[in-house]
Amino acid sequence: MAKRVVGVDSSTQSCKVLVVDAENGTIIRSANATHPKGTEVDPAEWLKALEKSLEAVGGIDDCHALAIGGQQHGMVCLDYSGQVIRPALLWNDTRSAQAANDLVNELGAGDDQAGADAFVQATGSIPVPSFTITKLRWLADNEPENAKKIAAICLPHDWLTWQLQGAKSLADLVTDRSDASGTGYFDSATNEYRYDLLALALRISEDEAKKIQLPKVLGPNDEAGKVCDKYTRAEIVLGPGCGDNAAAALGLGLEPLQASISLGTSGVICAVFEEPLNRHEGLMAGFADATGNWLALTCTLNCAQILDYTRELLQVDYQEFDRLVSQAELGANGLGLTPFYAGERTPNLPSATASWWGLNTENRKPENYARAALESLGYLLRYSLEVMAKTGNQISSALLIGGSAKSKALQEIFPNLLNCHLDLPTPGEYVALGAAKQAAWVLTSELPTWKLEVASLNAPANDDIYQESYGHWVKQAIG
């Protein structure tokens, strides 16, 4: 019988488990269980969901390796007995917004720009409220007694891997470069923790910070121990696991200078680079990936809702929206949309609002509204690609994923709007699949080359008219 591996996606909403053929990546069976809602969760609930999923999938006694891809940034603090001190603060908990600002300002000795530059050079990213380091500052300021109890700090996937090991010693905690790089106190260029930044967050000395147990950072296919006999009678090796974005990139098989563009509530672009990402303007996050390279990430707060709100305005369904787009010309006869309904992160315009512009008696037609909305989404994502290009790394191609990627009109015009070669992979659970691929890599010592089914979209025209249209949109929407 072919060897089988287990890939786990422990996300904000749920736990998904795939049992996969290690040789060809075929999914043999799957299961999932939900996580509690909210931005503050007892990690024990993640373990319950994982245990339910492992049971629902039929057990794992016939498997040989397992790895976990998990939601990034969540703060899990443990005391000296290994007990969770307080519910974990997740990436989407924004109570640490002021803490993020304070940390940047303090690192820059009162100069915000200097602090931002210093964080990018040290860790690849400017901390935002989602990052672990900001949550630790919030803890130090608002729950000092809990902060004093900290003996170890880890992330959601680290804690789950530790539980599967048997959770015997804090010294057994492990992580990987990708998840560590989202903490705000890890340098992925040197693969070292920045205890000075951890100390800054907790308002303690660097010597005190070094006494805190942080997970050992393993290589991409290093073994992280074995699954304990509570969960299996078989000998199953554990992979180091990884952050969810890195797991998805691994599952999609992204090559250097290739990106994934996820079109959901937010628009997330991840791209693999072969050089450290500690020299950029701060509009992107510079993480590590799950293979030994680096993972650039940009996020727009506005994405699918740009199209949804326009459909609601026009009172049309998805199919009719696509038909309307096809009836309009490039530029929507002068009608344009600034699509910042929720402010915006890329570009950094948190207080911005949405607005239509260029309206006149000739262009106020449904097809122009539809076309302008889709163009605004395309150009907003193109702006993110150009942010990445400023590092000297030009994206060669990208994979379109997420719910909005199903739009036929989007598939037709996005290659030109983004000026990028685009492919459409078969929808799948790519975080769990990436974790399974890592497990197979640990098991066999060879990175699998599982085939990904993709449909290629039209090549971009590279026509000056699209560059002019994009430039006009940037001038009107961003300034």
pLDDT tens sequence for the chain (479 residues): 689 999 999 999 999 999 999 999 999 999 999 999 999 999 999 999 999 999 999 999 999 999 999 999 999 999 999 999 999 999 999 999 999 999 999 999 999 999 999 999 999 999 999 999 999 999 999 999 999 999 999 999 999 999 999 999 999 999 999 999 999 999 999 999 999 999 999 999 999 999 999 999 999 999 999 999 999 999 999 999 999 999 999 999 999 999 999 999 899 999 999 999 998 989 999 999 999 999 999 999 999 999 999 999 999 999 999 999 999 999 999 999 999 999 998 998 989 999 999 999 999 999 999 999 999 999 999 999 999 999 998 999 999 999 999 999 999 999 999 999 999 999 999 999 999 999 999 999 999 999 999 999 999 998 899 999 999 999 999 99
**Residue closest to 183 by CA, chosen among 209, 169, 171, 201:** 201
Tell me, what amino acid is at 407? Answer: S
Residues designated as active site: 244
- Cα–Cα distance measured from residue 12 to residue 92, given in angstroms and rounded to the nearest whole number: 9
Inter-residue contact 146 to 77 (CB < 8 Å): yes
Q: Hey, what are 432's tokens?
A: 């769990």
- Cα–Cα distance measured from residue 145 to residue 141, given in angstroms and rounded to the nearest whole number: 10
**Is residue 166 classed as helix, strand or coil in its secondary structure?**
coil
Strands 174-176 and 76-78: unpaired
**Is residue 265 classed as helix, strand or coil in its secondary structure?**
coil
β-bridge partners, 288: 294
pLDDT for position 2:
85
- Fold assignment, 4-240: Nucleotidyltransferase; domain 5 (3.30.420)
- Cα–Cα distance measured from residue 302 to residue 47, given in angstroms and rounded to the nearest whole number: 32
**Residue closest to 230 by CA, chosen among 163, 313, 277:** 163
- Cα–Cα distance measured from residue 369 to residue 83, given in angstroms and rounded to the nearest whole number: 55
pLDDT digits (tens, 9 = 90+) for 337-380: 999 999 998 998 989 999 999 999 999 999 999 999 999 999 99
pLDDT for position 189:
97
Q: Hey, what are 193's tokens?
A: 């923790």
Burial class (CB in 10 A: 0-12, 13-18, 19+), 350: exposed
Looking at domain 253-479, which of 3.30.1490.100, 3.40.50.720, 3.30.420.40, 3.40.50.2300 is its CATH number? 3.30.420.40
Q: Hey, what are 20's tokens?
A: 């996969």
Q: What dihedral do alpha carbons 293, 190, 177, 89 form, nearest 10°?
A: -130
Burial class (CB in 10 A: 0-12, 13-18, 19+), 285: buried
Residue 463's alpha-carbon distances to 288, 335, 368, 414, in angstroms, are 35, 21, 21, 13
Give the residue extent of every domain in the chain: 4-240, 253-479
Q: Hey, what are 379's tokens?
A: 């150009």
Q: Hey, what are 28's tokens?
A: 């043999």
